[in-house]
Amino acid sequence: SGHYGRDLLDAVHAGGCVDSSHQYLVLLYMALTQHHVSSVRLGPLTPYTISFLRNLKLFFGIVFKIKIEKINVDEPGNKKGLGSTLVMSCLGVGFENMNRSMT
């Protein structure tokens, strides 16, 4: 359990707000949400996340806008010495559960 906490702290120190093993999950929720723009700040993308982004484009036609933002490498919390973070945003496809009862 300490390993997961360390992963999250590493991601936060790298400028992101999601640990690297769960990047894909946040991006999935963003892609499936209602028709509005969602965004998230991430550290370096994992190979799995990059592959997952390709699948989202293939299955849903979702393309993420990726903005690189520079961060201060001398900042005390920047443990990994990274110089940038990624701000990813997309317009959700408006997925709805058709089995949900209409109330």
At 24-52, the pLDDT tens digits run 999 999 999 999 999 999 888 999 999 99
Question: Distance (Å, rounded) from C-alpha 31 to C-alpha 26?
Answer: 9
pLDDT at 18: 81
pLDDT value at 82 more than 80: no
Question: Distance (Å, rounded) from C-alpha 72 to C-alpha 81?
Answer: 9
Nearest to 11 by CA among 38, 45, 52, 39: 45
Q: Which residues contact 99 (CB under 8 A, 6 or more apart)?
A: none
Which of 7-11, 34-38, 72-76, 96-100 is most confident? 34-38
